[in-house]
Structure 1
Amino acid sequence: MVKNRRFEEEQEHGLGIRHLQTFLFFFALAVAYAQRVNLSVAVVAMTDAAEANPHFPEYKWPEKTKSLLLSSFFWGYVLTQVPSGQLARKFGGKITLLTGLSICSVLNILTPLFAKLGGWQLVCALRVVEGLCQGVVFPSVHTLLSAWVPPNERPVLGTAAYAGNQFGTIIMLATSGLLASSSAGWPSIFYISGGVGCIWAILFFIWGASSPAHYKKISTEERKMIEMAQASEATSEQPKEQMHTPWLSFFTSPAFLALIASHSANNWGFWTLLTEIPSYMKNVLGKDIKSNALLSALPYAAMFVMSFIFSAIAMWLNKRNCISTVASRKLFNSIGLWVPMCALIGLAYVSSDQSNLAVILLTITVGFNGSCYLGFQINHIDLSPNFAGILMGITNCVGNIMSIIAPLLVGFIVNNEHDVEQWRVVFFIAAGIYLVGNGLFIIFGRANVQPWNDPPSKPRRHSTPQVESQH
């Protein structure tokens, strides 16, 4: 008995193929975010080559054109969120993730050529297509995590995978200035981010898999451990492919609607800061371009580190069984949204001559947001392992509509980028949205598998949809 228990513990905590897959997911998200933010940092050098490297093309794009280019990615991104969740369930997360990021990586490499041949119009079209391709990323990764990660390891491995978001952002923000001023110039920003994506695609093609059943070299013990853990959440034995997607149940579930609200609130604050921190640092805090790049990356470095600290705390709480899963999700989500909310309110009253305090509050705001990886970010899998990718597609679609609206609202409010009071309004709005989003998650959020996770394989033609009660 003792020997068997020891063997089970080794299987649970030892390194296995599921950890290799998690690393590949981390790398995929790092590549995706690096390619997502590379234009926002490259466009500075593209429109002011004299300050970076005058030997490369310079484009006289006005501010409106630059804003159009920066938002064009999300036009395509929101369109493929929900369909890609369905595709990932049908064909496997590996195929959808590999296809989307491979195409996006090639397009990144072609960006300088497109800018030369077709100007901002062709670059804009290219970014829309990149957004369409990257729309598969989160639904695919969520589908893959639900297949590979046992329920008790979701906080740790889920956080490890999604930390790739911040890693890619950090690397791109921190190195962009050096790349733009190097002998390779601003085109190297696109060549390197696209080239690294192609390397990832090769590695994932060789070692990636949609599920343990599709990976030939996985040990029998690890495969059984994962599949038994997955089976413990299912109430039906029918194959996933035969399950009817319960759309009505999704949108009549208070738990899922609260998840949408929380995801949307997070995206509003996150993308407001990601797109506006460089401008705030330059115009309000008076930071020069070189320090601006490093200081812009600092909050995301803090988020990367803090996400692992919160993950360790969650694992410690889980081992001691001193907190329920739903309480854990709400606790960490509250830390991830309400601590930043308080920091944003403080930031709203920081004057322009208190730049160090402003940097500290910005770092707290973004750093503590990493706690959300243990909150709403993995709650989709809690509610429905069978439809986790589709749920992520829906919430990410709505959330990224917020990502489009938030910077546009900032542009409407901040007419004078040096005016502290106008930035105060921006921070108050983000803080208020954080308050409401997490409040709804606390009230209505759940962490148990919902009844609609296992719907009938074929819906009855004349049956009336039954709305399950949430407990």
Structure 2
Amino acid sequence: MSGIIKMPKNRRFEAEDSALGERHMQIFLLFCGLMVGFAMRVNLSVAIVAMTELPDYHWSERTKSLVLSSFFWGYVLTQVPAGVLARKFGAKATIVTGLSICSVLNVFTPICARLGGWQLLCGVRLLEGVCQGVLYPSYHTLISAWVQPSERASLGTYAYMGAQFGTIVMLATSGILASLAGWASIFYISGGFGCLWVAAYWLRGSSSPAQSKYISEEEHQLIQLAQAREVETKLEQPKESLSPPWLSFFTSPAFLSLTATHCASTWGFWTLLTQIPNYMKNVLGKDIKSNALLSSLPYTVMLLLSWFFVWLSKILQKSSISLSSSRKFFNSIGQFLPMCLLVALGYVQQQQDTLAVILLCLTVGLNSGCQLGFVINHIDLSPNFAGVLMGISNGIANIMSIAGPLLVGVVVTNEQDASQWRIVFFVTAAFYLVGNGLFLIFGSASIQPWNDPTAKKQRSSMPQVGAQRETADS
């Protein structure tokens, strides 16, 4: 019968069966891609400080907020289409298209700002958001195709670490670049590196092991057999011809709880990223925006803890803990612990600024536990539709990146009033409590029945499959 893989006896297809291979090179390329992507995403946050010191860019706080938020209006638009397009045309094509256009737009950002002011700058940033909206759904599609189940948490986390690394590099160097070569150099350099990465990925990247010219036959078989073993039958990987079962997505408790915890995480992350500097400056009298080290420190802690959590996940993988329990354990670290720290942060006194910085770093850093929790869970639920699922949940969740800061503007009418900031922290903590609580109750790491609508037909032929395997093995 065509489509049946011979499963050798007495062999475990685990990560240890193969040393460093082409899949690790692909993950490294994805790491670098997300690094340049996030560098281009956050560069304006630093550059706008230097820009608005010049007479031509004396913008109001409202205008600056509009310019900074315009990226996310575009970012939300392409989340769901990106997952569908990545399955149809290949994730490599969507990533290369998105980051190449975004890189060119970054290079031309200074010219656009000079010619069209904040209005044209908003338009450019919105288009950049549209381009970068393809990244996470496409990354999930690639990881689903390239990574065997036993390595999914570790290699997936390594790929997404690029986001923290890019944020750290850009926050730490942008001030230096602006002082030495002017604010425009921030965009020229980040956009230039983006163009270099696109060229490298075009030459070496691949949408799947089957399309790669550099993978060995042994590694290809290792990945293929491990993925087939996960679903018990040979499934074409990926199944581009399958139509996404949209109704099943939105009636699945496992996926809905994943989306809920995704929303909670995004609310907390972007509320902290955009508003904690104001809290530190106005309540605690510590201006971390003017200090590159303090600005990047929370994300440095996040990067370091990501490595630690990957190591811990490998320890747990060798124990008897189930995959579902592992996902929920790390997600609880990423949300329940920051929930407690946020409540504590609301009661820190002005003279305890060092303690406040420590709590802030831990609150942001511990959130990296979610990378081994809900972030990779889309692939657990549906290897075939992982990119589409990520597009849906990330699209809904990133509405929170807009709503969170807006709520702060409503609640905090006096930025020096600690009691008003305490309300912000309590609301964020409540989001963590509800989001992760739902994930603990309804979350799952099992492949869902709607992953392959043809599975019933395949299961009905399983006795014949077993007979053919037995004949082949004998």
Unaligned runs of 5+ in 1: 50-56, 458-471
Equivalent position of 1:22 in the other structure = 27
Check the 8 A contact 2:13/2:225 in 1, yes or no. Answer: no
Identity %: 64
Equivalent position of 2:460 in the other structure = none
Check the 8 A contact 1:352/1:420 in 2, yes or no. Answer: no
- What secondary structure does 1:377 align onto? coil
User: What is the CA deviation profile of residues 14-34 of structure 1, one whole-angstrom value per residue up to 9, with x for unaligned ones?
Assistant: 100000000111111111111
Equivalent position of 2:73 in the other structure = 75
Residue 317 of structure 1 deviates from its aligned partner by 1.2
Cα separation, partners in 2 of 1:291 and 1:400, compared to 1, 3 Å: same
CA distance in 2, matches of 1:455, 1:328: 28
Check the 8 A contact 2:334/2:368 in 1, yes or no. Answer: yes
Q: Which amino acid aligns with 2:297?
A: L
Check the 8 A contact 2:110/2:187 in 1, yes or no. Answer: yes
CA distance in 2, matches of 1:170, 1:380: 27
Equivalent position of 1:460 in the other structure = none
Cα separation, partners in 2 of 1:169 and 1:224, compared to 1, 3 Å: same
Instruction: State yes or no: 1:212 paired with 2:209.
Output: yes
Equivalent position of 1:32 in the other structure = 37
Cα separation, partners in 2 of 1:118 and 1:351, compared to 1, 3 Å: same
- What secondary structure does 1:287 align onto? coil
- What secondary structure does 2:294 align onto? helix
Instruction: State yes or no: 1:264 paired with 2:263.
Output: yes
- What secondary structure does 1:376 align onto? coil
User: What TM-score, normalized by structure 1, do the two folds share?
Assistant: 0.91
Cα separation, partners in 2 of 1:393 and 1:8, compared to 1, 3 Å: closer
Instruction: State yes or no: 1:247 paired with 2:246.
Output: yes
Equivalent position of 1:53 in the other structure = none
Unaligned runs of 5+ in 2: 1-8, 456-474
CA distance in 2, matches of 1:381, 1:428: 32
Check the 8 A contact 2:15/2:150 in 1, yes or no. Answer: no
Cα separation, partners in 2 of 1:9 and 1:266, compared to 1, 3 Å: closer
CA distance in 2, matches of 1:58, 1:376: 44
Cα separation, partners in 2 of 1:422 and 1:292, compared to 1, 3 Å: farther
Residue 9 of structure 1 deviates from its aligned partner by 6.8
Cα separation, partners in 2 of 1:163 and 1:76, compared to 1, 3 Å: same
Cα separation, partners in 2 of 1:142 and 1:366, compared to 1, 3 Å: same
Check the 8 A contact 2:327/2:372 in 1, yes or no. Answer: yes
Residue 364 of structure 1 deviates from its aligned partner by 0.9
CA distance in 1, matches of 2:159, 2:407: 31
CA distance in 2, matches of 1:74, 1:210: 26
User: What is the CA deviation profile of residues 35-76 of structure 1, one whole-angstrom value per residue up to 9, with x for unaligned ones?
Assistant: 111111111111114xxxxxxx64011011011111111111
Instruction: State yes or no: 1:142 paired with 2:140.
Output: yes
Check the 8 A contact 1:244/1:455 in 2, yes or no. Answer: no
Counterparts of 1:84-99 in structure 2 under 5 Å? 84-99=82-97
User: What is the CA deviation profile of residues 317-367 of structure 1, one whole-angstrom value per residue up to 9, with x for unaligned ones?
Assistant: 11x232100000000000000000000000010122210010010011011
Counterparts of 1:195-344 in structure 2 under 5 Å? 195-234=192-231, 235=233, 237=235, 240-288=239-287, 292-318=291-317, 320-344=318-342
Q: Which amino acid aligns with 2:390?
A: M
User: What TM-score, normalized by structure 2, do the two folds share?
Assistant: 0.91
| Structural RMSD (CA) | 2.0
Residue 10 of structure 1 deviates from its aligned partner by 8.0
Check the 8 A contact 1:11/1:222 in 2, yes or no. Answer: no
Cα separation, partners in 2 of 1:316 and 1:10, compared to 1, 3 Å: closer
CA distance in 2, matches of 1:9, 1:246: 31
Check the 8 A contact 1:282/1:292 in 2, yes or no. Answer: no
User: What is the CA deviation profile of residues 271-293 of structure 1, one whole-angstrom value per residue up to 9, with x for unaligned ones?
Assistant: 00111232223222322467533
CA distance in 2, matches of 1:212, 1:11: 18
Equivalent position of 2:347 in the other structure = 349
Equivalent position of 1:52 in the other structure = none
Check the 8 A contact 1:177/1:290 in 2, yes or no. Answer: no
Equivalent position of 1:377 in the other structure = 375
Cα separation, partners in 2 of 1:5 and 1:45, compared to 1, 3 Å: farther
Q: Which amino acid aligns with 1:12?
A: D
User: What is the CA deviation profile of residues 376-420 of structure 1, one whole-angstrom value per residue up to 9, with x for unaligned ones?
Assistant: 000000000000000000000011001110011112222222222
Residue 424 of structure 1 deviates from its aligned partner by 1.1
User: What is the CA deviation profile of residues 181-213 of structure 1, one whole-angstrom value per residue up to 9, with x for unaligned ones?
Assistant: 11x111111111111111110110111000000
Q: Which amino acid aligns with 1:258?
A: S
Check the 8 A contact 1:236/1:454 in 2, yes or no. Answer: no
